[in-house]
Structure formats: C-alpha cells, structure tokens
Amino acid sequence: MTTVIPQSELTKRAIDWICEHCGPVTTPAARRKAIEEAAMRFNLGPLEEEFLERFFAANEATEDHC
C-alpha cells in the first residue's frame, strides 16, 4: 500500500535535497536547473516550483536557506 505524503512535506524534502546535492546555487540558471531536477524527483507541480524559485531567490543574499 502506498503512503500519501502531504505536498508541504515534499516541498521541504526538495529544499533539503537542493541544499545537500547542489550546494550553494550561485547563478539563476544553475538555481533553475536544480529546482527542475528536484521537482522531477519529488513530483512537484508548477506552483511548488515557483515557490522554490522565490524561496531561493529571496534567500540568495543571506545564504540562510541551506
């Protein structure tokens, strides 16, 4: 039987995965590529991808996101 995971948990896992596997994402193109890969791995929709874009762009200067 399959376990249903809340979408918010998948988004948290995607953030953790990006931080662990991609390190500090410095350029917008690299950030976009990392987010696209995480979206595929964690079955995220367009809204979650957009959230990740905003999340990493907003925290880019502070480096607090990872």
Please say whether the beta carbons of 15 and 62 come within 8 A. no
pLDDT in tens, 15-34: 999 988 877 767 888 889 99
- Where do the structural domains in the chain lie, given as residue ranges? 7-58
Q: What is the mean pLDDT of residues 40-58?
A: 92
Q: Which amino acid is at 2?
A: T
- Supply 62's token pair: 């502070």
Name the maximum alpha-carbon separation found in the chain.
Answer: 43
Q: Which residues contact 35 (CB under 8 A, 6 or more apart)?
A: 14, 18, 49, 52, 53, 56
- As a whole number, the mean pLDDT across the chain is 84
Q: What is the mean pLDDT of residues 4-12?
A: 83
pLDDT higher at 35 or 8: 35
